[in-house]
Amino acid sequence: MNILILGSGGREHAFALKIADSKLTDKLYVAPGNSGTQEIATNIPININDFEQVKKKSLELGISMIIVGPEDPLVNGIHDFFAKDKETNSIAIIGPKQNAASLEGSKDFAKKFLVRHKIPTARYATFTRENIKEGFKFLKTLTPPYVLKADGLAAGKGVLIIDSFDDAKSQLTEMLVGEKFGIASSKVVIEEFLDGIELSCFVLTDGVNYKVLPTAKDYKRIGEGDTGLNTGGMGAVSPVPFANKTLLNKIEQNIIIPTIEGLKKDNIEYQGFIFIGLINVNNNPKVIEYNVRMGDPETEVVLPRIQNDFVEIFQSFKNKTLDKIELNIDHRSAATVVLVSGGYPSSYNKGIKITGIDHVVDSTVYHAGAIREKENIYTNGGRVLAITSFGNNFQQALKNSYNSASKINFKGKYYRKDLGFDL
């Protein structure tokens, strides 16, 4: 069959490598793709949030399955758009419908879902500019630091952790009244701060059955020691060393099963990936957030460990037979190191020549913010490359990735050298 992947990052390159390996794949396309996907698929330069354009191309290319990488098209309703159209309703969309995507598209929706289904999470309340004074009162009931979250999608920048009450009050005003994050912060969720260590859990569901994928831990901050600005992710490891059987059992019983059952009870049809951002507080996992797709760079450490044919897995969604598939997991550790442009996540230059990728032999180099022009590859974004390696433990895997990272060069190259410091 002909398959289309939507997206242009390291996550999509990782999916493309898996899908290209499938015996069921005839032709593979990626929109818009990058220099990495270009080597194994055909890139299509279209706007993936222009659904008419995606439809036109899909029909033209005889596409049977679309795998949606990023959250925006899902939150904007691409699954619904294709399902309602007689010309496209036979195309399998891997990713949930719009109401289900609200788990990521609206923090308030997600928190209400969590509370309704008695899934452990932080105490919270939601406010708008109309009741901002109530928000000030709620802040007073919390002990610092204060957590403020823009309700909608804010490109990963909508969460603020603030130490003082006055600053929290000021930022709440800026978000609600000053529209700091535009329409995304027309509602703001205020949460109690949870002190613990974070991890990511990934679940695949066909709407009835589910499979738990390997855990991962990513590193969001730009600076070593988890300092500085938040980024899209500077690296990740899988599995998470502290996620022992006891903790994993708690996650499944107290969080995963109630999530799957909660979706059914609420009549929310869900097929695709559920990314559950967790925090481990004294060996009790609590949900920080839901995402309705795979994470990046977590995908680059989770997918290489899954040995199954992914097209086969996705095909099981149609008849809801995911339970018949047995996941084959590589028990080695995987670690990815992200190389970023100098200045990221603030301003940075594009169009800088990258050298040395062909010198990497013991790792997989996933392209993200990179573009090919003739014979050369150039930077085209903040997060440029993700380098993934295996090892008998995460330390060895990281060592291998760092070794490969040293072979790649571009002006302004930066990467964190302390990944795994807290494990």
Residue 110 domain-assigned (yes or no): no
pLDDT tens, position by position, 45-79? 999 999 999 999 999 999 999 999 999 999 999 99
Domain membership flag for residue 115: no
- How many whole angstroms separate alpha carbon 346 and alpha carbon 169? 25
What residues contact residue 225 under an 8 Å CB cut-off, 6+ apart? 418, 421
Return the CATH number at 56.
3.40.50.20
CB 386 within 8 A of CB 348: no
Helix (H, G, I), strand (E, B) or coil at 181: coil
Both 71 and 87 in one domain: the answer is yes
Do 338 and 206 fall within a single domain?
A: yes
Domain boundary among 140, 171, 191: 191
The confidence score (pLDDT) of residue 70 equals 96
Number of domains in the chain: 3
Phi, psi of 298 (to 5 degrees): -60, -35
Amino acid letter at 345? Answer: P
Q: Is residue 416 a part of any domain in this protein?
A: no
Measured between alpha carbons, how far is 30 from 39 in angstroms, rounded to an integer? Answer: 11
pLDDT tens per residue across span 228-264: 988 999 999 999 999 999 999 999 999 999 999 999 9
Token digits for 308? 């199954």
CA-to-CA separations, 384 to 205, 246, 293, in angstroms, rounded: 31, 37, 21
- Clarify whether residues 339 and 370 are in a common domain: yes
Shared domain for 201 and 346, answered yes or no, is yes
At residue 400, what are phi and psi to the nearest 5 degrees? -65, -40
Same domain membership, residue 251 and residue 236:
yes
> Does residue 417 form part of some domain?
no
Whether 289 and 383 share a structural domain: yes
∠ CA 168-173-174, nearest 5°, is 95
* Same domain (yes/no): 275, 332: yes
Query: Given 191, 218, 251, which residue is the final one in a domain?
Result: 191
Q: Which of 191, 214, 249 is the last residue of a domain?
A: 191
164 and 257, same domain (yes or no): no
- pLDDT of 307 higher than 90: yes
Question: How far apart (Å, rounded) are the C-alpha atoms in residues 188 and 277?
Answer: 19
Q: Give yes or no: residues 171 and 204 share one domain.
A: no
pLDDT in tens, 324-363: 999 999 999 999 999 999 999 999 999 999 999 999 999 9
Please check whether residue 59 is in contact with residue 46, taking contact to mean a CB–CB distance below 8 angstroms: no
Would you place residue 158 in the very low, low, confident or very high pLDDT band (cuts 50, 70, 90)? confident
Residues 12 and 34: their CA atoms lie apart, in Å, by 9
Asked whether residue 259 falls in the same domain as residue 375, the answer is yes
Q: What is the pLDDT of residue 153?
A: 87
Residue 388 lies in a domain: yes
**Does the structure show a pLDDT above 80 at 323?**
yes
- Say which CATH number the domain at 161 has: 3.30.1490.20
Mean pLDDT (the chain, rounded): 96
Q: What is the pLDDT of residue 269?
A: 92
Tell whether 411 is covered by a domain.
no
The strand pairing partners of 354, in sequence order, are 377
Residue 234 and residue 379 in one domain: yes
Q: Tell me whether residue 117 is in a domain.
A: no
The answer to whether residue 332 sits within a structural domain is yes
Whether residue 261 is found in the same domain as residue 176: no
> Domain of 333: which CATH number?
3.30.470.20
Expressed as residue numbers, the domain containing 65 is 2-95
Confidence of residue 179 (pLDDT cuts 50, 70, 90): confident
Which residues are bridge partners to 292 per DSSP?
none
